[in-house]
Amino acid sequence: METASTDRQGQPPPVPYEQVQASPEFTELRRAHRSFAFPLTVAFVSWYLLYVLLSNYAGDFMGTKVVGHINIALVFGLAQFLTTFLIAWWYSRHAAAKLDPRARAIKARLDGDA
C-alpha cells in the first residue's frame, strides 16, 4: 500500500532542502563561492607562510631597517593585518554582488514552495 509519505519504490519523497541542494542554481552558487574563496585562501596562507619562513630563516633580511627603527619584519607583519582587512572587504563586495542575489533567489523559491 502506497502512502503519501513514500513513493512507489518505498523511498520517502525528497526534502525541499535536498531538492535545492541538487538544483543547478545551488550548484552555481557553490561554484561562485568556491571560485572566489579557495584561490584567495591559498594566496593568503602562502603569503602568511612566506612571512613566517622569512622570519625564521632570513633574519638578516627581515632585520633590514626601512626607516628609523622600522624594519622589514614589522612592515611584513603590519601588511598581514592590512591584507586581512582587504580580503574581508573584497569578499563582502563579492558576496553582495554575486552570492547574495543568488542565495535570495534560492531562498525565495524554497519559501514559495513551503
Q: Is residue 22 part of a domain?
A: no
Q: Is residue 70 part of a domain?
A: yes
Q: Is residue 17 part of a domain?
A: no
Residue given cell 519559501 in the structure block: 111
Cα–Cα distance for residue pair 85/32, rounded to 1 Å:
21
Provide the 3-class DSSP secondary structure of residue 65.
strand
Tally of structural domains, the chain: 1
* Cell, residue 61: 633580511
> pLDDT of 1-58, one tens digit each?
445 555 567 777 667 788 888 899 999 999 999 999 999 999 999 999 999 999 999 9
Q: Is residue 14 part of a domain?
A: no
Helices 24-57 and 100-113: crossing angle, nearest 10°? 140
> pLDDT of 64-110, one tens digit each?
999 999 999 999 999 999 999 999 999 999 999 999 999 999 999 88
pLDDT of residue 35: 96
The parent domain of residue 51 ranges over: 36-113
Q: Is residue 7 part of a domain?
A: no
Q: Say what the pTM is.
A: 0.76
Q: Is residue 31 part of a domain?
A: no
